[in-house]
Structure 1
Amino acid sequence: MDQQGHDGNYFISMTDMMVGVLFVFIIIVSYFVMELQKTVENNDVISRTAHERIVERKDKEIALLKEEIEKLKRKSWELYAAAANNKRSEIIQSISQKLEQQGIKVNVDLEVGVIRLEGDGLFNQTSSNLSERVGAVELINQLSGALYDSIRCYGLHKEEGLKPSLPEDFESCNPDQVFIEAVYVEGHSDSDRLRGTLKDGSRNNLELSARRATNTYAQMVSFTPSLTKIVNPFDQQALSTAAYGSQRPIKEGYSTAAKAANRRIDLRFVMYLPKDEAARASLQSRIERLQ
């Protein structure tokens, strides 16, 4: 999956290339200054035409160099984005494999970055209580452990009252320096309308899906408290919740199978993508200060 390879940190390579381009830029400017000085020394007075030609040539060279620098910046950002996307797929596959080793099968969608747990394995209909379903709590416990093991290298770690830090093995386990921005525990429901108020207080599918998400989240962090210590580059906790009710079905129709598929928990992974090369460079500088 990794298209970059690990022959070395490509951020260092891109930085070296940009430094090299700037060095060439300095040499060219120095050359034109020297040429201008020689012309003045040899002729005492330089003609306006000759001066304009020198300036025009210098401006063209500078413009070309600036264009090359911008191309390198865009390429650096594109490489970072590709590395982040590849790593997201690797994380999802890693979690899936860890769960399969425990006899737990999940559905994955690498294109959108989601692990899906169908609701029939977690919740009874019209319920948000994990303990009502045999094996549901154990399933979420296994999921939380696999999640922590698979993302711990792709976030900063923040103990209460302390500044964020990098994992001790950060250089070896995350050579591309990519980060998780968020992992959403998403609650979903089927399309059946609720009648009255449920035991958990839910009055509609959106509230039911929200309670399913928060109950799943609570069980995850109860079993694996270290999940709450993983933060993104903005020092925000990575693990969070979201709820969609019946708004995002994955199967159309009103069959029992369709409803079971739509009544689910999704684990959605969002990687950090800096808005531009300057933001990426700022992140790299922060990493260097933490190392």
Structure 2
Amino acid sequence: MRGGIRVQHQEEEEESAFVSMTDMTVSFLFVVMLLLAFFASQYSESDTVSRTLYEEVIAQRDSARQQIEELRNLVTEKEKIIEVQSTLVEKLRDEIAELKRKIAELEEVIAKSKKPDPLEAYLTRSAAERRRILETLRDQLKVDFPDLEVVISEESDALRFQGEGLFDRGVSTLKADRRAVVEKIAARLEQILPCYTLGQNKNWNVECNPSFSIIEALQIEGHTDSDGTPDSNLNLSTARANSTFTTMTASKPDLVDFHNFRNQPVLSVAGYGQMRPIRTNDTPEGKATNRRVDLRIIMYSPSRSDEIERIRESLEKGDG
């Protein structure tokens, strides 16, 4: 009896649980239906797009994303370039600063160079005056003796009578027809020297010597080629210089009275033999050039700038 009651009771419980689950399922479905009904009520045809438009929008989105990525990469690349260029700009600024410093130094050098050194300027003017004196002598001699071989030295410090212009080969006595040349030189020097020397015959003025130049020495030099012995050539060259000097002073005795800044006669002689060739002695032409008499003008070169004023005063006053 008890067993039957227990089975019945169990069956009632199972039936009750089934009913409950069924009710819950029905309730859930009801809720879902309500939600579907709600969403259905909210549906509008205007909220949908066509497949074509959708794909176009997606394509534009993807393209925009790609462009954004490309632009980001470009920005990164430009940032790297800017970083490199910034370093380069800084380097260039340093170089520019260094160049400006060098420019300033050079401008300072130029500024100093524009202030002429009085001593250097005086020596330059004296060299120019010497060149002018030699050109004047050469041109005058060319007028008086058109066939005379006379040139100005490469250093612009001497007149050169080359070859057999004044003397026969191996002879220290002037050619008979060339004594007139030496005497004419003496006469020209007597006209020129007063403006560039001191002493009793001094006659300076600013028109003839505006640079206040003064002659230190007027040297008659004898030279030979390499034929013969060194001693015989030395004697020959000295004898020729002496012969020229004697002829000049015999014609114009006052030449020995022209003095330099140290109150010494400017006219002097020297013989160098074969020791100072100006061309090779291996050819007849070279030997002819080396056989010569030079009339060399040596200008006085002050050692200090303050001497220039003393030279000026001496020329103006006539003191030697």
Does the pair score TM above 0.5?
yes
Matches of 1:155 and 1:112, distance apart in 2: 20
User: TM-score under structure 2 normalisation?
Assistant: 0.59
Report the equivalent of 2:165: 121
Matches of 2:191 and 2:316, distance apart in 1: 24
The C-alpha deviation readout for 1:191-241, integer Å capped at 9, x for no partner, is 1115xxxxxxx9511111111111111111111222111111111101101
User: TM-score under structure 1 normalisation?
Assistant: 0.64
Greater RCO, CA 8 A, separation 6+:
1
Change (3 A) 1:112 1:147: same
Q: 2:161, 2:294 within 8 Å by CA — same for their partners in 1? A: yes
Aligned pair partner of 1:96 in 138, 142, 145: 138
Aligned pair partner of 1:185 in 200, 217, 220: 220
> Within 5 Å, which residues of 2 pair with 1:6-17?
none
The two structures, once aligned, show a CA RMSD in angstroms of 2.5
Matched, 1:141 2:183: yes
Matches of 1:284 and 1:72, distance apart in 2: 24
Aligned pair count? Answer: 206
1:72 positional shift: 11
Matches of 2:219 and 2:251, distance apart in 1: 17
Report the equivalent of 2:290: 262
Supply the AA of the counterpart residue of 2:309: A
Q: 2:198, 2:315 within 8 Å by CA — same for their partners in 1? A: no
Report the equivalent of 1:242: 270
SS in 1 for 2:207: helix
Report the equivalent of 1:43: none
Report the equivalent of 1:150: 192
> Within 5 Å, which residues of 2 pair with 1:39-78?
75-78=117-120
- Extract unaligned runs of 5+ from structure 2: 1-111
Q: 1:230, 1:237 within 8 Å by CA — same for their partners in 2? A: yes
- Extract unaligned runs of 5+ from structure 1: 1-69, 159-164, 195-201
1:155 positional shift: 0.6
Q: 1:181, 1:238 within 8 Å by CA — same for their partners in 2? A: yes
> Within 5 Å, which residues of 2 pair with 1:159-198?
166-167=202-203, 170-194=205-229
- % identity of equivalent residues: 31
Report the equivalent of 1:275: 303
Matches of 2:237 and 2:217, distance apart in 1: 19
Change (3 A) 1:97 1:184: same
Q: 2:212, 2:311 within 8 Å by CA — same for their partners in 1? A: no
Aligned pair partner of 1:111 in 144, 149, 155: 155
Matched, 1:223 2:265: no
Matches of 1:71 and 1:166, distance apart in 2: 36
Q: 1:153, 1:170 within 8 Å by CA — same for their partners in 2? A: yes
Change (3 A) 1:79 1:135: same
Q: 1:141, 1:219 within 8 Å by CA — same for their partners in 2? A: yes
The C-alpha deviation readout for 1:143-188, integer Å capped at 9, x for no partner, is 2222222332111133xxxxxx641x52332222110110110000
Q: 2:202, 2:258 within 8 Å by CA — same for their partners in 1? A: no
Q: 1:148, 1:227 within 8 Å by CA — same for their partners in 2? A: yes
Aligned pair partner of 1:82 in 124, 132, 138: 124
The C-alpha deviation readout for 1:26-83, integer Å capped at 9, x for no partner, is xxxxxxxxxxxxxxxxxxxxxxxxxxxxxxxxxxxxxxxxxxxx99997221221111
1:286 positional shift: 3.3
Change (3 A) 1:137 1:287: closer
The C-alpha deviation readout for 1:107-145, integer Å capped at 9, x for no partner, is 112524010001412222221011xx2412112112222
The structure in which a higher percent of residues are helix is 2
